[in-house]
């Protein structure tokens, strides 16, 4: 029997989903699926992920917290770095616990063979309870919805793993700290429910974080006194790891996110550099077209730039649909030939940059975030110019952008890419206007 390409991949997906639904799938995660290679144009923009820097940042964090277990926050597509790719690198480096914000992210990690604890911070529907249990996902709970998991656990005769979120002042979700001890006792008494951990989230206001920590530690102490096994107690994200040692001491685990990716949680933290972090992400594109504007000629919608004299410009096939903040128009720059080139215009799929005397030919590599030669554009610089945060910059990277592994060469300082076209100049034919 012959199948069309679409029917074939649909059959593969359905078979994988059915396998995940079988009893015992949680105890033995599926083998990594081999995905068909996605066709990627050599002219498309791409991300380069330096996996050595990911591991370097993990080691810096582990040293600061005295070797305590790390729950790696890989939500939001691994902060734009790639959910599965990032989790695999960190798992191979020894990380056994992961946090996601959506159930679909947890599913993807299990399909990819990630076998450690996965905490789903996000909500779930009653119809998803059995799947959560079969995949051995530790579900965030803070209301009587935990009963749904308990009933499902009894029904399918598998344990439901949960984390209890205590709201100590962030005000987002969680059982209020004044009722938390009672709720912990209720959950601990449920048949078929395993309490994997108890946690809270800080506001990252330095003074108020200390106020939040006190009731959380008190709740944990009182529950322990009553003979309740709380599992892993954790509160410290990246900011607290740097600034609130008491959130690390006396608790069982830390929960870094942004620092794993070589970025700092605030401008103040970047200035202080209590940890030596190395950015793991670079955003790159290729020069598609080079020309010279005559005086009076303009570019892009609404004529955002008009040349007052002959001006060399380059067009790149990358734009705000790929994650480049549109606010960089007229303020930001990119690197071509190791030189900074001001960004004149940004549209959905194109950037026009002022070349000045920078050497540029179609096919040349351009860097929007990252290093080229002696120049570097940091995500924090992009964030300041766009009046956002580094979180907003990297998490906005389009999930369809090709992500290529980048590892520095020991001998030459060059880079090795597992993706296509990462370090070569493409054909210039038909792409340059010599006007």
Catalytic residues: 75, 301
E strands present in 339-432: 339-346, 351-354, 365-372, 375-377, 403-408, 415-417
217 neighbors 252 (Cβ within 8 angstroms): no
Pairing of strands 403-408, 375-377: unpaired
Cβ atoms < 10 Å from Cβ of 154: 14
Distance CA 104, CA 102 (A): 5
Distance between CA atoms of residues 52 and 309, nearest Å: 46
Distance CA 339, CA 71 (A): 39
Give the strand pairing for 305-306 and 289-293: unpaired
3-state secondary structure (DSSP) of residue 9: helix
Q: In which region does residue 273 sit, left (phi positive, over 0), alpha (psi from -120 to 50) or beta (all else)?
A: left
C-alpha R_g of the chain:
25
**Token output for 10:** 């649909």
Are 81 and 49 within 8 A, CB to CB? yes
The answer to whether residues 61 and 275 touch, using CB atoms and an 8 Å cutoff, is: yes
Whether the Cβ atoms of residue 358 and residue 341 lie closer than 8 Å to each other: yes
Contact 360, 287 (CB under 8 A): yes
First-to-last alpha carbon distance for the chain, in angstroms, is 58
Residue where the block lists tokens 């395993």? 194
**Residue 163 CA, distance from chain mean position:** 22
Q: How long a stretch of residues is the chain?
A: 435
CA 94, CA 109: separation in Å to the nearest integer?
16
């Amino acid at each position: 029997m012959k199948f069309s390409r679409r029917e074939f991949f649909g059959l593969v997906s359905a078979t994988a989903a059915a396998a995940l639904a079988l009893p015992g799938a949680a105890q033995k995660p599926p083998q990594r699926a081999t995905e068909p290679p996605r066709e990627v144009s050599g002219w498309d923009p791409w991300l380069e992920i330096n996996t050595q820097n990911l591991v370097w940042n993990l080691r810096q964090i582990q040293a600061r917290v005295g070797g305590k277990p790390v729950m790696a926050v890989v939500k939001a597509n691994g902060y734009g770095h790639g959910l599965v790719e990032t989790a695999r690198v960190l798992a191979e480096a020894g990380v056994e616990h992961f946090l996601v914000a959506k159930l679909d992210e947890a599913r993807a990690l299990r399909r990819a063979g990630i076998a450690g604890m996965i905490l789903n911070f996000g909500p779930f529907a009653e119809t998803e309870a059995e799947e959560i249990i079969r995949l051995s996902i530790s579900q965030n709970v803070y209301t009587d919805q935990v009963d749904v998991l308990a009933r499902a656990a009894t029904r399918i005769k598998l344990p439901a793993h949960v984390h209890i979120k205590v709201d100590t002042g962030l005000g987002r979700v969680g059982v209020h700290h004044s009722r938390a001890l009672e709720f912990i006792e209720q959950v601990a008494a449920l048949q078929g429910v395993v309490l994997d951990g108890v946690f809270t989230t800080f506001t990252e206001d330095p003074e108020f974080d200390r106020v939040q920590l006190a009731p959380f530690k008190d709740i944990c102490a009182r529950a322990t006194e009553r003979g309740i096994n709380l599992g892993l107690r954790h509160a410290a994200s990246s900011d607290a790891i740097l600034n609130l040692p008491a959130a690390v001491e006396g608790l069982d685990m830390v929960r870094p996110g942004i620092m794993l990716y070589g970025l700092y949680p605030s401008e103040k933290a970047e200035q202080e550099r209590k940890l030596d972090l190395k950015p793991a992400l670079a955003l790159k594109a290729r020069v598609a077209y080079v020309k010279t504007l005559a005086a009076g000629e303009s570019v892009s919608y609404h004529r955002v730039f008009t040349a007052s004299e002959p001006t060399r410009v380059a067009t790149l096939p990358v734009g705000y649909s790929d994650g480049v903040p549109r606010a960089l128009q007229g303020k930001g720059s990119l690197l071509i030939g190791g030189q900074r080139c001001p960004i004149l215009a940004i549209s959905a799929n194109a950037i026009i940059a002022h070349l000045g005397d920078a050497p540029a030919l179609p096919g040349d590599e351009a860097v929007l975030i990252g290093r080229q030669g002696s120049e570097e554009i940091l995500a924090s610089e992009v964030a300041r110019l766009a009046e956002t945060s580094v979180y907003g910059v990297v998490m906005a990277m389009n999930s369809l952008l090709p992500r290529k592994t980048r590892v520095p060469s020991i001998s030459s300082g060059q880079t090795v890419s597992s993706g296509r076209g990462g370090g070569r100049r493409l054909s210039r034919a038909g792409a340059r206007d010599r006007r």
